[in-house]
Structure 1
């Protein structure tokens, strides 16, 4: 039987100072407050013709995605208002909503947005002139994705600043941290009403405009990333009851992506990952509203694939933003472009919604994993920035955004992420078909974080403290303090986490008993011991005491140290201590671009990659690998062997692993080579082969664009006409159609490049014969409009490689040290291009 779970209001849950979650929350708030609303409004004012003195921010905000951060910013203000009710967030929300309303009023038709040349764009789309690729719609960079951010931000402000989330009754005053004054409540209500008016006018504009577009043309438009437009319209239906919005939500069902999922087929390999997750969030809402099995099947297929087959130990997934094959995580372990923050942000939202709808522990298990290992680590508490990519490549590092220079998608999700830690720490359950009184006298403790809950229905304050203790023990205390005298009888359902071998309970100031949910129950040193052997995932604790004093429950977890291989079973392992993924901290040398500038590719950790063969290798598993220790810092010691680089011999050593989420501005290894059966020599041989393959090519690349890969093409200023992108399995490509062309800007900062390398596959009508001078559909290659002559053609593992000799340093021109390289079709469509690179002869 499904259980419907309810969250407590955000304002009633507080993170206590001193924890990594409170530190991350505070750092996120400071970042939000460092941004200037006037500069965020500038793209909207430019498009609406409203005058303003502030200039737009640089980077993505001035590179074709103007206004996308403004939408995220609204959501962040709503989130931080919800947990703090701080005036600084209200004041910024007032400025943003007033500015947006001014722009919408000036536009006169309900539209408002920062998308460059948006009026011309939407006129073309409304007339059925639709030229869509995965990130390009009629020459505009993902405009519907951009628009969705504004929809989402306005809906968040509408609901978060609404009177029911700000007003208070007399009974609340005693329990409130800082009472909200009536004038502040009325100001918050005004923000809510403005946001509501803006988003409903925007939704009306959209529906009126696109009602005239045929379903076939609308489906073509969905080829281009559109964020979670379906989710926003589903939310508008929930808020207004207007059927028109639900129909519009369903109209955003992208058949190419949706139909296989609804049929139970995992065909995700090759897709741009975060394009898809917001769609699934929309499917989940539609499934809930309509009880539609095809939508719920699509959600289940997607969830099972991503969490069960495609995710690494920190709960994250994708390489260079794309889903790779489930049976090959090689690229995951070698790429500097690892898992993406936006993906985990959206997957955490999906996990939360599925848990609240079903009460199933698997959703909460994943939520805990991705929140406590990936998301909390994506803000630099000391570096003061957000992370885009988290490489799984051993001994690489991450890059942090600069608040006034970097406006990536992961900055946008980063603004929102760190106001969300308290959402599922506590909950209560609907046991009477939605007729249950709020909170009743039963409380669920889902996550173990230093926090405080105002349990208003019981007139109680709940305080939780939790920390590692010696060896493999964690200990926490739950304290219940009542505002009222008399007898108290409450029930607390304390989650039995998957990572815990047994739980011990002790009670102070009350009578307490573990009465349900344990297969084995005993007494030991004053503790009631619940051994974990069955499927029940909560221990039920009943407490009884008198008066206003505090009742305390001491919770002691015996945590497991576990080894998790990659999902493909390859010879890599991640070590976990309880829920926390452990990592081997490296040095802080050569962290090139640690704090990013506004350059297109500044979010990528471009510093040197360390050789694999120098890594320590874990040999064996379980108790034979974990070295005993008595520290109370949550670290783990494991035994490993490592090659002595001077002597060449293998030596034993003990590695101290620390929680990955604690590592900042340093190289790290989440995964280490693993000789599970003791065959260290074989593992080392494989690492040496990886090094040899990388050194022969990687070190010779000056710059490379991966054709058909969204962010790589955006970073290299893709332009094209009469061309298309696609993928065969996990290989992405771009081809020019007859009379078509496409081009990129490639750089050569050192001016050492002396050739262009082009890699391609045979496509429809092509003949993959590397010995032929004319291979099926030929192409022309230009550098800055100069036609180049091919000097070499070879075939490597089914891929044809063409080389064009150039004058040394010829590509590195101008301030950007770059040249535009263009590929044109000759008579018919070109082959399928995989990559174009500027190469040098010597490392």
Structure 2
């Protein structure tokens, strides 16, 4: 190879791990895989030196993002590549003020475990969860009915904790009806129509998928199972051969193919999905022939990562094997459900049996310790896919396995209605709550529903940026901490992807209009706003909300690249819903609905440039009740016309316009008066954002200091000029985030 080709391949092959949350020393190789010499230089030797040694900033001084440069040299040619390394501050020194003492109900003669964690309140006002070490261990069997008091100590802290145990003759699980209030059009009945940014995003992502090399997506599975890789190039980034997360993007790819086929019915996309499933089946069969590999296993690497996790091997020596497995599982089940590939379910069942056999042999304490390990123990939504597999097959061992992933550190405070999210990794835990909701659907056990419902409430009320995203540097922080957390690393895209999934599951049962207000805000401003324009298939990892930054597209197989491949095929999912004969119109996007069972067809012709005017062409074989969401952003003065005649016989209730639509063909037009309004951050009331209807507006500005504007809703109405979806206020141009490409911008600014 020529020198330039050597350097190019070494740049692609070199992988340093997850640089967004660094706590450990980095391995900085001096030589590339294909032969180039590598020279390293750090932008801040105090925290990261050129040998890869990491010194974390002291607690309270904040995380540090440092530039690290690698100079690749071969045959007299040199090229430089910059890496951004986020080094996390040291963990806090906790001073406990009080403890929410845990309580436990037990059944006489039946083995139970004392709570793994307690909710604590610190002297500096934080609410956290902390592990408990119980005297004589956590396992108990109480032979007689009565009240008992157990004593333990907070792990690593000189602070006692007590648990009240109430032992009863018999305990009945509290159940809740699992029959949903709301039904969805989940199998292609609702589709986007041409003429919106949503449609463009969907079509460009389909184009990206059509360009993808399936054999390259299969490379890691074939290589690990001993099969011919068929001349494919190795994957790069988080799926590179040297990376311990390899295989996760292929799982996302399966889901993306399935969702794409559901959204548009493209035959080539179905063929690609069928090919991927058939070849993964061959890999699963090949794994069984390898000595030491247990029946049913399938991954992009052998079983050793799972073995090492059970030995508590830390990251970066291993990296979240069950997280990767979840992506593969989800892709298999999506291909079964949305493409109709029976073999996908067969593979998933074998893999599910492998998981059951592996985890059922482990003591509870080992599982708890595994799931509590930083990065290594992250398991995505394994509880979700195992409960989903149970609902499909009826095999009880799969529901039991879903329960093996119960994470008390997250679930216990949620069950008690306590927001203890601070210092938890956002996107690590949102999928676990989706899994809790799926366990509820499968079992009817109410506590799982309560966990999911409270979690959604806590996040959406106290942890959201104006665009609907959550988390800074991937982490939850204290409730209401928004204005002080406006950095380059706000709002991880994966977190919004998963919060929308959770919203969809909860809305089935709660039918709350506020949930759809959140859904609209996040889908429009973060998900649509986070994609790179064109058929590149790329999504921002973080949506930067610090002043003067711009969107960065890393073009590597990161988690947000994976969820981004899926997200743009979900825009039609929640536009329409039904409850019995009632039809709900929840989102205002150009689309078509064919509700064949009810004999109803709807074409929605709403234009993004005029969100205040919702236009529905309805054809029905009978009269039916229709409910149209009143968006949070609309003002007084709402009006409705049917066939150009203004209507007066409609009502507003529970956030919806309610009307009966007669048999036949009709055009219904709703006016939701739309205008400018401001939102401020709870912790810094001088910081505001400007919105127009459903759109968060960003001022095009590279200024790294917050703009200071004498602006309010009335002044905006009087002085801001609107041309399409471009807005002009004095010398500033504003755009919705989804129309911004590479320009620097400010979403938040100071109000004079």
Q: With the length of structure 2 as denominator, give the TM-score of the two structures.
A: 0.71
> Is 2:499 the counterpart of 1:344?
no
State the distance in 2 between where 1:399 and 1:193 align. Answer: 39
Instruction: For 1:92-491, list aligned pairs within 5 A.
Output: 92-108=272-288, 109-116=294-301, 118-124=302-308, 128-131=310-313, 133=314, 136=316, 139-162=317-340, 192-223=341-372, 224-329=377-482, 332-333=485-486, 335-382=487-534, 384=536, 385-402=538-555, 406-430=556-580, 440=581, 442-467=582-607, 474-481=612-619, 488-491=622-625
Determine whether 1:79 maps to 2:259: yes
Structure 2: how far apart are the matches of 1:399 and 1:469?
A: 26
Paired residue for 1:557? 672
2:733, 2:543 → 1: CA distance?
21
SS at match of 1:267: coil
Does 1:35 find its partner at 2:251?
no
Quote the Cα distance in structure 1 between the aligned partners of 2:720 and 2:551. Answer: 30
Query: Match of 1:621?
Result: 712
Cα deviations by residue, 1:435-487 (Å, 9 ceiling, x for unpaired): xxxxx4x42111111111113134443111113678xx7213211245x7xxx
Asked if the contact 1:7/1:428 (under 8 Å) is kept, the reply is yes
C-alpha separation between the residues in 1 aligned to 2:212 and 2:584?
37
Could you tell me which runs of 5 or more consecutive residues in structure 1 were left unpaired when the two chains were aligned.
Answer: 163-191, 431-439, 519-534, 588-609, 639-652, 676-843
Is the 1:512–1:541 Cα contact (8 Å) retained in structure 2? no
**Structure 1 659/324 Cα, relative in aligned 2: closer, same or farther at 3 Å?**
same
Q: Cα offset for 1:507?
A: 1.8
Q: Partners of 2:435 and 2:651 in 1: how far apart? A: 35
In the alignment of these two chains, the number of paired residues is 561
Compared CA separation, residues 9 and 260, structure 1 to 2 (3 A):
closer
Cα distance in structure 2, aligned partners of 1:308 and 1:458: 37
Partner of 1:577: 692
Say whether 1:54 aligns with 2:189: no
Shift of 1:314: 0.6
Preserved CA contact (<8 Å) 1:277 1:347: yes
Please name the residue that 2:111 is paired with: none
- Equivalent residue, structure 2, for 1:22: 199
Contact kept in structure 1, 2:382 and 2:402, CA below 8 Å: yes
Mapped to 2, the partners of 1:214 and 1:262 lie a distance apart of 24
**Distance of 1:34 and 1:634 partners within structure 2:** 32
CA contact (8 A) 1:79 1:416 kept: yes
Partners in 2 of 1:394 and 1:123 — Cα distance? 46
Over 3 Å counting, the alpha-carbon distance change for 1:468 and 1:423 in structure 2 is closer
Alignment of 1:468-617 (within 5 A): 474-481=612-619, 488-501=622-635, 502-508=637-643, 513-518=647-652, 536-544=654-662, 550-586=665-701, 610-612=703-705, 615-617=706-708
TM-score, reference length from structure 1 = 0.64
Q: Distance in 2 between matches of 1:79 and 1:514?
A: 40
Q: Secondary structure at the match of 2:649?
A: strand
Compared CA separation, residues 48 and 360, structure 1 to 2 (3 A):
same
8 Å Cα contact 1:514-1:541 kept in structure 2: no
Q: 2:623 is paired with a residue of what secondary structure?
A: strand
Displacement of 1:348: 0.5
* Pair 1:110–1:55, CA change in 2 (3 A): farther
Change (3 A) 1:568 1:292: farther
Matched-pair contact (CA < 8 Å) for 1:503–1:557 = yes
Is the contact between residue 192 and residue 592 of structure 2 (CA under 8 Å) also seen in structure 1? yes
Structure 2 runs not aligned, ≥5 long: 1-176, 289-293
Question: In the alignment, is the contact (CA less than 8 A) between 1:319 and 1:331 conserved in 2?
Answer: no
Per-residue deviation, residues 704-723 of structure 1 (Å, max 9, x unmatched): xxxxxxxxxxxxxxxxxxxx
Contact 2:482 2:683 (8 Å CA) reproduced: yes
Q: CA deviation at 1:123?
A: 3.9
Q: Please give the secondary structure, in 1, of the residue aligned with 2:476.
A: coil
Question: Post-superposition shift, 1:383?
Answer: 7.2
- Deviation, 1:248, is 1.0
Q: Cα deviation per residue 1:647-676 (whole Å; 9 max; x = unaligned)?
A: xxxxxx45342212211111111111123x
Match of 2:550, SS state, is coil
- 1:276 match: secondary structure: helix
Distance 1:238 1:383 in 2: 36
Q: Deviations over 1:376-400 (max 9, x none)?
A: 1121223733211110011100112
> Residues 326, 543 of structure 1: CA spacing in aligned structure 2 closer, same or farther, 3 A cutoff?
closer
Q: Over the residues paired in the alignment, what is the CA RMSD in angstroms?
A: 2.3
Please list the CA deviations of residues 551-584 of structure 1 after superposition, one character each: whole Å capped at 9, or x if unmatched.
1112222024221112323421111111111111
- Residue 665 of structure 1 pairs with residue 716 of structure 2: no
Kindly provide the CA deviation profile for residues 512-538 of structure 1, in whole angstroms up to 9, marking residues without a partner as x: 8453433xxxxxxxxxxxxxxxx6311
CA distance in 1, matches of 2:447, 2:279: 41
What secondary structure sits across from 1:317 in the alignment? coil
CA contact (8 A) 2:547 2:704 kept: no
Q: Deviations over 1:249-299 (max 9, x none)?
A: 111011222212222221111111110000010111223333334323322
* CA contact 2:287–2:298 (8 Å) conserved in 1: no
Question: Aligned with 1:424: secondary structure?
Answer: coil
In the aligned structure 2, how far is the partner of 1:229 from the partner of 1:3? Answer: 23
**Distance between the aligned counterparts of 1:16 and 1:566, measured in 2?**
36
CA contact (8 A) 2:297 2:350 kept: no
Match of 2:244 in 1: 64
| Offset from partner CA, 1:420-449 (integer Å, 9 cap, x none) | 00011111113xxxxxxxxx4x42111111
